[in-house]
Structure 1
Amino acid sequence: MKKVLWICSRLPAPLLSGDALYSAGLLKALAMTNDAAITLIGTRRPNHDQDAHLAALPNTTSIMLPSAQASGLRSLASSLPRDAYNLATPELALQIEKLLQQEWDWIAIDHAYSAGLLSTILKNRGRASVWYIAHNAEGAIRPAIARSFSNPLRRTIMQLDAEKYRRLEHRLVRAADAITCITGDDASYFRQSSPRVCIVPPIYLGKVVAERRIERKCPRSLLLLGSFEWVAKQKNLELIVDTLLPRFQQKGITLDVVGFVPQAVRDRYGRYTEHLRFHGRVDNLATIMAGSRGGLVPDLLGGGFKLKVLDYAFQRLPIFALRQAVAGTSPNEQSAMFLADDLDSLVERIVNNIDDLVALNGHQQSAFELISARFGLDAGISELKEFILGSRRVESRAHTMHQV
């Protein structure tokens, strides 16, 4: 068995956000190869103490440290971006230094925000190969997010943080013996600096609806899944609601938003109470899914693969999406979605199709068949077994590269 130290500074539990879902899928796939003995280490997410799905993983030992505390403005004086600075806690640093006294085959750095202790890792890696698990091309998306803010002070702070992310990501990519990412666009970005890049699609771990037929009695509602804690996600939500809701109100269409939304954002849209419903976090989505005629993927900011695509497809909701928001899906998969190039066009796509039951049912059936074939657990196990544990394994550069 290969010994793998998996550093995920923000542990992938609960499964309520895209980064947690992607990490959890890869972690489960690698554990189920039965060819890796994994030690997972990271900090708990705030207000969360139950990690049953992590405890149930085979071949895996989990070291769960206390939640990181927000730094306020202290991170501004650091060379690290805010998330990496906050998550590189003294407790995490101490434990990683102890773990690095062992011999490892692989050290996985899961997400750029887990690289706050990169210098310590590289100094003490021994003969271990470094595997960077990229969730986004941070150096590409974060400057774009920063530019979207109109407040000059907020924009300046976000731009500073984006530049710190770019520099940290560049160091990490240069140090990595292997990089996995989610989309072809991200792979092209990373291959400018490293030849060893593999696309590993998200692995769906949720429930599967075997069969569904949308009927006329189904409410004229659309579902938007997400976790809106990150400021970029909040900005996305505001752009979406500001564009879609006036037309939805006019046409009698309801938008159901499921996931954490700050109260200040919810209060801003009190005038739409009849056609906009904030449900918060929901443990069982079955009722809301069954009462929806489609799922929305309208993200303008943030980049990367939108994991709600998988939730919608596997639970048989037709997908209404911006073309740029479904990066990582194939042309065939996109042919089974209702796509548009901007939010105004997406509104019209929704209005023109929400009552076309033949089209809705045809698209959800096709999307289910196409997406379930590529994003299941077996596919993830096979890819990681070949790329990380199998014949394509590379020699560690620990003794050949300069300190970065």
Structure 2
Amino acid sequence: MRILFLTQVLPYPLDAGPKTRAYFVLRYLSQHHEVTLLSFVRKSDAAEAIDHLRSFCRQVIVEPMARSPWKDAGYMVKSLALHRPFLIERDASAAMTRRIETLACTTPAFDAVHADQLWMAPYALHFCKAAAQQGKRPLGVLDQHNAVFMIPQRMADAERNPLKRTLMQLEARKLAAFEVETCRRFDHVIWVTYEDHAAVQAEAARRGREVPNDGVLPICGDPEAIAPIVRAAQARRVTFLGGLHYPPNAQGVLWFAREIFPLVLREVPDAILTVIGKQPPSELAALHIPTRNLEIAGYVENPTPYLAETGAFIVPLLAGGGMRVKIIDGWTWGLPIVSTRIGAEGVNAVHGENILLADAPAPFARSVVDLLTNPELNERIACGGRRTALERYNWRVVYGGWDRIYTGSPHSDNRTGAVTP
């Protein structure tokens, strides 16, 4: 099939969960189909990354996206006025829409359009509408990484500022309605976790609706190609790795630093909280953590030296949706992980076997201390995680599930009233 694949972030290098998902789905589909990638790009995206994607995609087309606080403020006003989700409104691009319309007229025609994440769903639906005007009928496929409305909903639950909490609750309600109606307009919807489908279906049921469920395909990596990290004896780093521009990550790191890490230091005074990821919150450096016990690394292209000194890899999230790819990465690297249950949601996490789970400060700190001071426990959890990555999160095995979507079988038209960007 000729597939148009739409992504909101350039899916390379693999330094974020959404990139990992899109990259390995692209790799799989390109082995069996002719795939054209159309992606937004940022100034930080390198030409080498685009060249790498061109090595297995038939064509890679990019459209610049510029973000700024003042633009976001304008999108927030527009979102409130139009009662559309802010997270969708700020990705509306006239230039991307023109690209979509041009590609809809391409000959030979695309057989399918693949929307990677909810952000690209309006563009996929607009593509189907434009193609229909040319007498074409492409298959519409949505890859749902998250139950997106759950992210602001959970953040609101933990937010202390009344105004921020109200805005997050409003965004969650708008996203829930948008998500249900958008999913219903696709021929096929693949989910990353069962929990995500259940959450969106519950919202649909409240409205007397039903959303498609074409199965669950988890986010996978390539554990066969990555050797486990060789770690130092008595490693003392307590490491968080993830983009801190993503609000749930920033919220989780600050919660750990404020409420949990001081408890760790009481028992392991030489522990070092290591925070790796771009745009770390300024509040982190302002906390009363001794400089010898805190390292804010920012974005690191190769985190291996830090990981080799890691005694506990933490996922202290209080909000989020879908899967936390940092857990799959941690398991692949052979690192022992401590996570909240929300952080480990959607993955095959078994407390005491491949991960330690805790939702309150004291038990979370206890789990970190145990990993730092008990070598046998540390090794058992690390080995259990590595085994899980190899058995359950290998794209070369799991992503054969995409074959049942892209078979070219007949499909009915359920995309009337398409949402356009």
SS of 1:72's partner is helix
- The corresponding residue for 1:304 is 322
Q: Distance in 2 between matches of 1:371 and 1:333?
A: 15
In 2, Cα distance between the equivalents of 1:152 and 1:322? Answer: 25
- For residues 296-335 of structure 1, what are the structure 2 equivalents within 5 Å? 296-330=314-348, 335=353
Alignment-derived partner of residue 194 in structure 1: 211
1:123 to 129, 152, 155: 129
Distance 1:334 1:276, change over 3 A: same
CA RMSD of aligned residues (A): 2.5
1:397 partnered with 2:412 = yes
Identity %: 20
**Match for 1:67: what amino acid?**
M
SS of the counterpart of 1:93? helix
Structure 1 window deviating more from structure 2 (280-289 vs 10-19): it is: 10-19
Task: Using structure 1 for the length normalisation, give the TM-score.
Answer: 0.89
2:260 corresponding residue in structure 1: 244
1:318–1:361: 8 Å Cα contact kept in structure 2? yes
Partners in 1 of 2:19 and 2:288 — Cα distance? 31
Equivalent residue for 1:158, pick from 168, 172, 194: 168
Asked if 2 retains the 8 angstrom alpha-carbon contact of 1:7 and 1:41, the reply is yes
Alpha-carbon separation, structure 2, partners of 1:84 and 1:128:
23
Aligned residues: 396
Structure 1 gaps of 5+ residues are none
> In the TM superposition, what whole-angstrom CA distance separates every residue of 1:253-304 from its partner, at most 9, and x where no partner exists?
2221111133523332264322221111112222111111121122111122
Matched, 1:85 2:89: yes
- Corresponding position of 1:20: 19
1:241 deviates by 1.2
Change (3 A) 1:165 1:284: same
SS of the aligned residue for 2:343 comes to: helix
How far apart, CA to CA, are the structure 2 residues paired with 1:210 and 1:119? 41
CA gap of 1:380–1:360, structure 2 versus 1, over 3 A, is same
How far apart, in 1, do the equivalents of 2:7 and 2:258 lie? Answer: 35
Which residue of 2 is the match for residue 203 of structure 1?
220
* CA 305–343 in structure 1, closer or farther in 2 if over 3 Å, else same: farther
Partner residue in 2 for 1:60: 58
Residue 12 of structure 1 and its aligned partner are, at CA, apart by 2.2
Given the two structures, how large is their TM-score scaled by the length of structure 2? Answer: 0.85
CA distance in 2, matches of 1:3, 1:177: 16
State the shift of 1:219 in Å: 2.7
Give the AA of the match of 1:41: L
Q: Is the 8 A contact 1:187 1:198 kept in 2?
A: no
1:3-402 correspondence to structure 2 within 5 Å: 3-31=2-30, 34-50=31-47, 51-52=49-50, 54-70=52-68, 71-75=71-75, 76-78=77-79, 79=82, 80-102=84-106, 103-117=109-123, 120-126=126-132, 127-191=137-201, 193-205=210-222, 210=227, 217-251=233-267, 252=269, 253-262=271-280, 264-269=282-287, 271-330=289-348, 335-385=353-403, 387-390=404-407, 395-398=410-413, 402=416
Structure 1's consecutive aligned runs of 4 or more residues displaced over 6 angstroms after TM superposition are none
Query: 1:82 deviation in Å?
Result: 2.7
The structural deviation recorded for 1:132 is: 0.9
